[in-house]
Amino acid sequence: MRVHEIREEFPFFGKRGGEEEPLIYFDNGATTQKPQAVIDRLVEYYSRENSNIHRGDYPLSSRAERMYEHARETVAEWLGAKTPEEIVFTKGSTEAVNLAAACVGETWLKPGDNLVVTELEHSSNYFPWKRQCEKRGAQLRVAEAETDGTLKTEAVISRMDERTRLVAVTAMSNVTGFRPDVGRIVKKAHELGIPVLVDASQEIAHHRVSVREMDCDFLVFSGHKVYGPMGVGALYGKRKWLEELQPYLYGGGMVQRGDCGCIRYRRDPGKYEAGTQNIAGALGLEAVLGFLKRWDFSGIEEYERQLGQCLREKLEKIPGVRLLGTERDSPVQVFESEWMGAYDMGVLLGNRGIAVRSGAHCAYPLMERMEKESICRVSLAFYNTAGEIESFAGTMRDLQKTFGRKGN
């Protein structure tokens, strides 16, 4: 992996005034840095191409709509969707799951039905389903995780029955990096006629995602987790479901015709995109997917696997540091310390130029299962280096010498 060439594409890693070295950025699970190609695309749109789509009769508006729909085609191709009509643009994964949950609740969920989620889920793929069940007299069935942060496939399958209307599962835990057997979950759910939504928010930056190979019914991701702009993401949905479900948001742009008597919605995906869309965000997302095509994704996966293994091995050698989770080569690693709380650890590392994330990571059921209140997470990306990991490990050793108890 030509990591130095990759870093040159990201202005964030250039030297800034008064700083000898750029920040060691190990918080990629929260958001990723942006390549110059994305920044340039946003500037170009707002400088020269800014116009709204839908019913604009002048060339600039027509061009904006063509660019917006081309971005949809690019996302569809990246995910392996059959048609661009299976891609709904959203503000990100949170809005995408809420959109799916509201539509499923309105169309399919009746009293006595149930939805299945897991304890691995981020709050964004847990609370929307919980709320729909509360509103409609349905049951939320939660597949329990293991105390080590893993999830047994049978725990999910055993929650399904003839009243299950949907299963929602993450492709990769944002806490431990654990990856459930999504393929087997989807296969079993489909045997029972149950659709499956996959949250690929963490997965999307580290592994190639193919909705065709997964055969999932819905999939969500956020652009900013895969080096794209904030404020844009996508909901993939099989076309038969998008045609069947009732919309969630109502307003301009999502109807073909509407009067006091009746409303005729646009065909999918337009009926799910009411109001003014984030056109610049969609174009920025398209730009980053084009940028990523320049790099061998299998090479990215292998390089990040090596980084994750290196990181874990370094941390395991520091007295009083305990690694959590079972994924030895994941780019996402979490740990706790005998000699310092997670919040203080995050602050002290930040003061030394290293960005990590401390807390419950919006995964409260999993944290409760693991009996943890707050832990530190290091999340890597393909622009991170072994040298940064060594600097981080050296800083951790210095902190241990300063704050660790004698004998550790």
Q: So which residues are the catalytic ones?
A: 362
Nearest to 39 by CA among 201, 280, 204: 280
CA distance 301 to 312: 17
234-273 b/e with 16+ CB inside 10 Å = b? bbbbbeebbeebebbeeeebbbeeeeeeeeebbebbbbbb
* Contact (CB, 8 A) for 198 and 216: yes
CA distance 49 to 36: 18
65-103 b/e with 16+ CB inside 10 Å = b? bebbeebbebbbebbebeebbbbbbbbbbbbbbbbbbbb
CA distance 306 to 281: 32
CA distance 212 to 32: 26
CA distance 169 to 287: 28
Contacts (Cβ under 8 Å, ≥6 apart) of 350? 356
CA distance 43 to 39: 6
CA distance 373 to 375: 7
CA distance 277 to 62: 15
At how many degrees (to 10) do helices 93-107 and 127-136 cross? 20
CA distance 103 to 105: 5
